[in-house]
Amino acid sequence: MTQLTLDMILEGEPYASVEPHHMDELSLQEVIVDLNVGSILNCGGHSYPREFWLDLMTRIQDKAKETPNQIPVLYGIDAIHGVTYTDNSTLIPQQIGLACSWDTSMVKSLAETAAYEVRASGIPWNFSPVLDIARDPRWPRFWETFGEDVKLVTDMGSAMVDGYQGSGDEIDSVHVAACLKHFLGYSVTLSGKDRTQAWVPERQLREYFLPGFEEAINRGAKTIMVNSGEMNGIPVHVNPAILTDLLRNELGFQGMVVTDWEDIKYLVSRHKVAATYKEAIKMAVDAGIDMSMVPTDLEFPVLLKELVEEGEIAEARIDESVRRILQLKFDLGLFDAKVPSLDDYPDFASAEARASALEAARASIVMLKNENALPLNGGERLLVVGDNANSLNVLNGGWTRTWQGVDPQYNTPDMPSFLEEVQSLFASVTYMTNDQFLTSRGVSADHVIAFLGETPYTETPGDIEDLYLPGNQIEVIGKLGELTVPTSLILAEGRPRTFGELPEGIDAFILAMLPGDQGGRALVDVLLGEHNPGGHLPFTYPRYPSAHTTYDHKYTDMMHIDFSTNAVNPLYEFGDGLSYTKFEMSDLSLSADTLAVGGTLEVSVVIKNTGELAGSDVIQVYVSDSVATITPSVKRLRAYRKVQLDAGASQEVQFSIPVQDFAFVGIDNEWVVEPGVFGVLIGDMKETLIVK
């Protein structure tokens, strides 16, 4: 039930292991043999070669064999966009970038590759996916999610779990145990800052925050990590209503629940709901946690044992958690597996894996404006502006080789930054920092690209005081808009930072939501038309910091200062995304105009590529409810399909939508479908359905 961070068995102090990192034999003996610690996580602050990981795992598991029961140690890692802490692994877009693809089968396939490379590192447990939904662009973990919509998060999350775990209860040697996080209600703090208080009424909790977890649990997810925050004044780590009544008794979760980082101790030092560490342990174990991510003290198992000896915690309760942990170790085959050797995984960081990461990076790029500016032909004299333009780190974001992802020394070798890729493919490229551009007088270039956005961050270090783009970037955007030559803005960021209006004078706007190691190549492929962009926003892009609403807002959110109802005025809408070709949709038709509550609606629509180039578009089917006992959203996404069409081709696309999908959580906090008049919307087409 005790999980310690790797630092605890390396030479040196926690967060300050002696370089080059190496095992501290005495600590290993004390942790594994004396204390019988059953789980270890994380790296010692940065990524390692695969050889290091395999040697480490061998030493840990050999030490475990010296214990009476020889129970193998369960190792967990954050491989959240590929195997972040194994050198040279294949790094794919972060979840927000994957969500821009709207392609769940691609997400599943990428997760399979990531699982393979995690196992190739000797590790069987991945703290991924994040199933929180990103309702607040201020939140620093926005980019770790699949966006703001419940259905998209649910579909993508389950695809990722399927990819990580494979099918069936046993998890074989090329799959890993997934970890759904962070259960529950973690992403909507009042302040928009990480791990601060959240108020989430039960109705909203059930309608927006639970479905992604519920579906993934039903798909067999093996583990869950708990939200570090406090919801409605109760830290989730001590809330049996969430961790036992809801998770175990209502959802029937059988797997293992692990705390987040140091969260039992934080009950004393942060939340102040326990006076002592020992009291906090009792509260958390009583609430329903199975394993404590301690992760830097040796007291937890000692205090827990005392609590059992003092009768404060029943041994049967310990057995419950131990059984779940052992079951997971059995399901992962840890009892009979040997630690792999280097050549057991020949496809680690393979060319195919790199190619699929490039495809994913391309699919993650969203083009939001293009007025005859792109694509380019490579012969243009380019001016590239942007302090971040030559950084690979800004394309990967946090959790990249180091926790915060800011240290280039561990970057994957031979991966080009955006600027490097542009320089290798364009004959004439001039580069300017923000300041050089702002102080320059006139530019001699055929096209000017400003590459702006955010530098990497995650968790509390990523908290912000202001949603506007930081530093002098707004001025750069303003000056870019005044140039008379064609201009493009590229934002590489983890959350939609605001900059007010996009100046008319900027001809093209491209969004790169942390596309990963291949992001530089993918962006230049889009600039050159090698890839026809097909990404679509999985979130609403706000125009101003204090004017953000999600697409599934309520009608009252539209109230404006002049009493009109057009206050909802985002810069770009959920689902937006352009292509170098054009698509038209027509002939929306429903299989019926009246259906019973238990019925299924068949929707069909024709999509045509009316442009000159092959490309993809995402058909999005929304349903609106005209009257309901709980205020209805203006619309909810109920189905979608990504469609690839050659120039001139058209296709009839069908959707089957159970009327049950129109349900919402009602007055008594139960899911309900109410008869009434519904709208079925695709693009600017709308048909009406009556549910009896």
Kind plus residue range of the DSSP H or E element containing 586: strand 583-590
**How many CB atoms are located within 10 Å of the residue 410 CB?**
17
Between 294 and 448, CB nearer to ligand GLC = 294
Question: Shortest distance, CB of residue 559 to ligand GLC, whole angstroms?
Answer: 37
Instruction: Determine, following the binding rule CB under 6 A, whether residue 125 of this chain makes contact with ligand GLC.
Output: no
Region of residue 610 (left: phi > 0; alpha: psi -120 to 50; beta: else): alpha
CB 375 within 8 A of CB 449: no
Tell me: does residue 261 bind ligand GLC (CB under 6 A): yes
The helix (H) or strand (E) run that includes residue 252 is none
CB closer to ligand GLC out of 130 and 285: 130
Q: How many CA atoms lie within 13 A of 320 on its CB side?
A: 15
Phi first, then psi, for residue 208 (nearest 5°) are -110, -40
Q: Which residue among 61, 75, 78, 691 contacts ligand GLC (CB under 6 A)?
A: 78
Applying the rule CB under 6 A, the residues between 162 and 221 that interact with ligand GLC are 181
- The reply on whether position 42 binds ligand GLC by CB under 6 A is yes
In whole angstroms, the minimum distance from the beta carbon of 270 to ligand GLC comes to: 13
DSSP alpha helices (H): ranges in 566-683?
none
AA identity, residue 592:
A
Gap between the terminal Cα atoms of the chain: 52
State the catalytic residue, choosing from 260, 290, 331, 517: 260
> For the chain, what is the radius of gyration of the CA atoms?
26
- Contact pattern for ligand GLC over residues 338 through 377, marking x by CB under 6 A: ----------------------------------------
Q: Side-chain half-sphere of 577: how many Cα atoms within 13 Å?
A: 27
Q: What is the largest CA-CA distance in the chain?
A: 79
> Least Å distance between CB 194 and ligand GLC?
8
Whether the CB-CB separation of 131 and 80 falls below 8 Å is answered with no
CB 260 → ligand GLC: shortest distance, Å?
Answer: 5
Compute how many residues bind ligand GLC; rule: CB under 6 A: 9
Cβ-based nearer residue to ligand GLC, 32 or 178: 178
444 burial type by CB count under 10 A (0-12 exposed, 13-18 middle, 19+ buried): exposed
CA gap 183, 164 in Å, rounded: 19
CB of 466 to ligand GLC, least distance (A): 24
CA distance 606 to 157: 29
81 binds ligand GLC (CB under 6 A): no
Supply the minimum distance, in Å, between the C-beta of residue 266 and ligand GLC. Answer: 11
Residue 269 CB, shortest distance to ligand GLC, in Å, is 15
Tell me whether residue 223 or residue 487 sits nearer to ligand GLC (CB atom).
223
For residue 469, give both structure tokens. 């783009």
Distance separating alpha carbons of residues 125 and 110, to the nearest angstrom:
16
Question: How many other β-carbons are positioned within 10 Å of the β-carbon of residue 232?
Answer: 15
Q: Give me the least distance between CB of 31 and ligand GLC, in Å please.
A: 18
**Smallest separation, CB 198 to ligand GLC (Å):** 15
Residue closer to ligand GLC (CB basis): 127 or 678: 127
Question: CB burial class (10 A; 0-12, 13-18, 19+) of residue 372?
Answer: exposed
Q: How crowded is residue 627: how many other Cβ atoms within 10 Å of its Cβ?
A: 9
Q: In this structure, how many other beta carbons lie within 10 angstroms of the beta carbon of residue 640? A: 21
What is the CA angle 493-682-662, rounded to 5? 90
Regarding 260 and contact with ligand GLC (CB under 6 A), the answer is yes
Residue indicated by tokens 């779990």: 161
Q: Minimum distance between the CB of residue 242 and ligand GLC, rounded to whole angstroms? A: 17
- Sites for ligand GLC among residues 458-517 (CB under 6 A): 459
* Nearest distance, CB of residue 239 and ligand GLC, angstroms: 17
The amino acid present at 680, given as its one-letter code, is V
Measure CA 64 to chain center.
Answer: 34
Residue placing its CB nearer to ligand GLC in the complex, 78 or 625: 78
Does residue 237 belong to the site contacting ligand GLC (CB under 6 A)?
A: no
> Among residues 93 and 140, whose Cβ is nearest to ligand GLC?
140
Of residues 230 and 617, the one with the C-beta less far from ligand GLC: 230
CA 239, CA 284: separation in Å to the nearest integer?
Answer: 8
Between the CA of residue 461 and those of 393, 406, 457, what are the distances in Å? 16, 12, 6
Among 102, 127, 437, 662, binds ligand GLC (CB under 6 A): 127
The yes or no reply on residue 87 touching ligand GLC (CB under 6 A) is no
Query: Considering beta carbons, is residue 50 or 181 the nearer one to ligand GLC?
Result: 181
Element (H, E) at 573: none
H-helix segments, 201-242: 202-204, 211-218, 240
- Closest by Cα among 311, 310, 287, 291 to 300: 291
- What DSSP string runs through 124-171? -EE---B------TTSTTGGGS--S-HHHHHHHHHHHHHHHH-SSSS-
Contact, 304 vs 1, CB < 8 A? yes
Q: Which has the closest alpha carbon to 328: 163, 616, 181, 125?
A: 125
- What are the residues facing 293 on neighbouring strands? 3
Residue 260 annotated in active site: yes
Name the minimum Å distance from CB 314 to ligand GLC. Answer: 29
Under 8 Å between Cβ of 368 and 510: yes
Q: Which residues bind ligand GLC (CB under 6 A)?
A: 41-42, 78, 127, 181, 225, 260-261, 459
Active-site residue list: 260
